[in-house]
Structure 1
Amino acid sequence: MPQLQLSHQQAVIRLQDIRAQLEELERRDNLTAEDEQQFDELTREFADVDSHRRQLERTSALQRVRSATQATDRGPAALAVAPGTSINSRDSYDQDPILNPDSVEDCRFRNPWDLDAMRTFSRSKGEVASELRARALSAIEKMGGTNDTVRAAATGIIEQFDDGDSRIARLCLATSSPEYLRAWSKVARGHGHMISPEEQRALERAMSLTDSAGGYLVPFQLDPTVIITANGSRNQIREAARTVVATGDVWHGVSSGAVAWSWDAEATEVSDDATTFAQPSIPVYKAAGFVPISIEALEDEANVTQEVARLLAFGRDVLESAAFVTGTGSGQPTGIVTALTGTSSVVSPATAETFAAADIYALDAALPARYRANASWLANRNIYNSVRQFDTNGGAQMWERIAADVPPMLLGRPALEAEDMDASFNAAATADNHLMVYGDFSNYVIADRVGMTVEFIPHLVGANRRPTGQRGWYAYYRVGADSVNDGAFRMLNVATTA
């Protein structure tokens, strides 16, 4: 399209597209001759479009000046404010963002999703990121189809985990707007042909933020990552684990040992008390799910998009509950049992091939005191029932009460359930039986990558390649998990031999 036919809004959007392409080329280690040529062409085009944008801004500003001057020439009455009218009224929202850019800043919370009015040129990266975060927080307050609990969780994700490039804020703005929610709902129901131009632009803006090929990002307010964070999880390990949000393929953390303080005499050189820093990393892996639905059910369901979001969150939780316990770490998260197996954190029973009350106390005593204050137990329900039967005389051997409205506790620490932990052991078989894990689960990190993608499959076919009268949603997302400090845990292994 010739440059002079671009509107101001189109010019700004094109400049943003050029910038994204240039940054993509910059990230490549080696540029081919074709890449070099593309870089030069994009640079020249950027200069031309930017010059055209500035010309449009000068023209718009001059028109406003002429209009104001003409009003002044007609006399003071033309500029008078009607009685009872505030200069900060709703009419001020229509101020020209070019002639009066501060008006956009003052009124951005009315429509935080309108990024076309946002100034980016001549502003630092930090200023742009700060405004994007402010807009995202405002969008969270206004986004529909959600509740206050999800809004609180979404706000926490933005405030705690957004990076310097405001990638999460951009994702939130792109996928929480009313236009995007309407467009996604139409696509999810197979009505993509009914999308309006505004909704199509909202879809394109969201897709520009991800490297996924095909499919559409689940709206931010329906993203299972946010829903699980807000509403809790049936997988109780999430309640105690440290949950972070990853914006890339790998989450990188920082850990260190305690500073080695020393006693130093007066006027003597201090000893080298430096700590050793480490950088634990947790890769994120792709998980996928499929939700089939009949054509009849799809037509009869009044709010199918909300129901799909609920099903996706439930299925995700079921998948993760096993991975966070026994995940291999190869193509899937590393489970806590997998992480501790073979380490010094494994504790053997007092009596071989026997599980007794003494083993509970031994596990508690083996955990360092600095982790004990925030420790939790993790075991199968059957194991907890075995613990309750250790004292059959009604004494206080385990300092435990079994009563209504009393939270499950063991030795004064929360007792979390995990169905994927070993539920029993067979003394006649050769096997490892990891019955309990005890420790500070803030040292087990779950890295969620915000942004689940869903593709709508219009027709499912049977064995003879004929339609079955069903449709479905293919969803995929990425998550990782691992222990970043094995010393914060102790695991009871009742090993048996045939």
Structure 2
Amino acid sequence: MGINEQIHQLLADQGEAFTQFKDTFSQRLERLELRVDTPGNPAASKGGIPRTDHVKAFERFLRDPRGAQARAELEEVQAKAASLGTLASGGYAAPEELAREVAKRMRDLSPIRRLARVVTVSSADFRMLVNINDAASGWVGEDATSGNRSATENAQLGEVRPTFGTVYAYPKATEELVADAAFDIATWFIESSAEELAIAENAAFVSGNGTNKPTGFLTGSPSSASDTDSPARSFGTLQYVPTGVAGAFPFDQQGSPPGNPGDVLYDTIYALRAPYRQNAVWLMNSATAGTVRKWKDADGRYLWTDRLDMGQPPLLCGYPVVTDESMPDIGSNTFPMAFGDWRRGYLIADSFGLRVTLDDNITTPGQVKLYVRKRVGGKILDDNAIKLIKCAAS
């Protein structure tokens, strides 16, 4: 056999060997994927959640929350991390991986959480200083000394201290369901906890009274005084724009005085100063949105514009609209619409992570009920950044 034939034979043998290796590897890979995807496999990563020791121990606890062994294993894992120890009142810290997924779902479900400024704090004794009088500034030449600089007004600082409370949820399921190895216990925990927590906390961000809960931006006594009026509004008080009609918006353009709901919208937009308008968003509930989207200008053009690109919010007078069912309806002396830069206007403070306890106070036999809670605070951050519309004559 010549050298060329030897080379061809060698290449052929090499190709055949590679094919055999590839087939063997593919079969092994398929078997591994089948094992990983098998429901109830404890080694699987469900929903993209890393299968850490804490996650595994926590899932075993969820499946058998009354079991001494499951509790002991979870306590052992949490004891290794000082920050995850049990509270004096009992309970376990949810794994960071699951708590993070709950937070993501809550952000999707809570409009204010998506829009506002969110910080994580270590205690409820958190406060933030904000400038409330726009301290003056000036110019000076390159060689000017400090003595040549004219005095500027010192900044007047206000203290924002969010009010905190514990928001909680009670996820429930049958004992048979949570014990079923094919049941995705982690996803159930994430979805059932996030939905109830998000609904409760978002309502507090809007209208919470500040007693063992966040202080909502509608709480207090909003004023018709503008940002530049003297005397100024008290710190933390929002400005409202009246509709000019008791309990409604103006519609009769031929009336005396004539009225158009669009005028109220534009009055609200320009009551907000230019730096805040850049990132401003409308907030209203579905009932109000159903009314507002029918409004037209004097030429018959709709003020509401639906976006063609998927996932983008509609526009009202050129600004995005976010629907929040916690907002009040149109009615006598209500504030059905708000407009502002929410990241500058409202502060959410998250305290320690998610805590879970088995609740034995259940009247339905055969069910498992969990007590899931977290600490959260909230308060107006910059009262110039949000404007309200009030259904009132003045």
Calculate the TM-score normalised by the size of structure 2: 0.71
Matched, 1:415 2:321: yes
CA distance, structure 1, for counterparts of residue 296 and residue 101 of structure 2 = 43
The residue aligned with 2:243 is: 349
Partner residue, 1:328: 209
The Cα offsets for residues 1-26 of structure 1, whole Å up to 9 and x where unpaired, read as xxxxxxxxxxxxxxxxxxxxxxxxxx
Is this contact kept in 2: 1:449–1:478, CA < 8 A? Answer: yes
> 1:491 matched to which residue of 2?
388
Counterpart of 1:271 in structure 2 is: 150
| CA displacement, residues 284-310 of structure 1 (integer Å, 9 cap, x when unaligned) | 211222122222222336222331122
In structure 2, give the amino acid aligned to 1:220. Answer: E
- Show CA shifts across 1:141-165 (max 9, x none): xx96553xx8xxxxxxxxxxxxxxx
Q: Which residue of 2 aligns with 1:219?
A: 95
Whole-angstrom distance in 2 between the partners of 1:391 and 1:321: 31
CA distance in 2 between partners of 1:404 and 1:208 (Å): 47
Corresponding residue for 1:120? none
Which residue does the alignment assign to 2:350? 448
What SS does structure 2 have at the residue aligned with 1:472? strand
The question of 1:181 aligning with 2:87 is answered no
| CA distances 1:468-489 after superposition (whole Å, capped 9, x unpaired) | 2222111111111111111111
Which of residues 263, 266, 273 is equivalent to 1:361?
266
Change (3 A) 1:221 1:418: same
Task: Please name the residue that 1:481 is paired with.
Answer: 378
Gaps of 5+ in 2: 1-43, 224-236, 250-260
Separation of aligned partners in 2, 1:386 and 1:198: 55
**1:36-185 matched pairs, under 5 angstroms:** 145=46, 147=48, 178-185=52-59
Letter matched to residue 436 of structure 1: M
- SS of the residue corresponding to residue 324 of structure 1 reads helix
1:19-67 per-position Cα deviation (integer Å, ceiling 9, x unaligned): xxxxxxxxxxxxxxxxxxxxxxxxxxxxxxxxxxxxxxxxxxxxxxxxx
Does the residue aligned with 1:285 lie in a helix, a strand or coil?
Answer: strand
Rounded to whole Å, the distance in 2 between the matches of 1:208 and 1:483 is: 30
Counterpart-to-counterpart distance in 2, 1:490 and 1:347? 7
Q: 1:454, 1:237 → 2: CA distance?
A: 25
Match for residue 333 of structure 2?
432
Distance between the aligned counterparts of 1:234 and 1:351, measured in 2?
Answer: 33
The aligned amino acid for 1:419 is E
State which drifts further: 355-364 or 254-263: 254-263
Could you say what the CA RMSD is over the residues aligned between the two structures, in angstroms?
A: 3.1
Once the two structures are superposed, what CA deviation does each residue of 1:56-86 show, in whole Å capped at 9, x if it has no partner?
Answer: xxxxxxxxxxxxxxxxxxxxxxxxxxxxxxx
Q: Does 1:252 align with 2:144?
A: no
In the superposition, relative to structure 1, how do residues 260 and 269 fare at CA in structure 2: closer, same or farther (>3 Å)? same
- Kept in 2: contact 1:237–1:416 (CA 8 A): no
Contact 1:146 1:221 in 2 (8 A): no
Question: Contact 2:106 / 2:198 at 8 angstroms: preserved in 1?
Answer: no
Give % identity: 25
User: Do 2:105 and 2:191's aligned partners in 1 also have CA atoms closer than 8 Å?
Assistant: no
SS of aligned partner of 1:422: coil
> Conserved in 2, the CA contact under 8 Å of 1:280 and 1:484?
yes
Q: Residue in 2 aligned with 1:281?
A: 161
Question: 1:487/1:310 Cα in 2 relative to 1: closer, same or farther (>3 Å)?
Answer: same
Higher RCO, 1 or 2 (CA under 8 Å, sep at least 6)?
A: 2
SS in 1 for 2:268: helix
Query: TM-score, normalized by length of structure 1?
Result: 0.57
Choose between structure 1 and 2: higher helix proportion: 1
What amino acid does structure 1 have at the position aligned with 2:380? S
> Per the alignment, in what secondary structure is the counterpart of residue 233 of structure 1?
helix
Whether the 8 Å CA contact 1:179–1:198 is kept in 2: the answer is no
Match status 1:401 vs 2:281: no
Q: Does 1:370 align with 2:275?
A: yes
**Displacement, 1:358?**
1.0
Q: 1:293 to 1:182 in 2, by over 3 A?
A: same
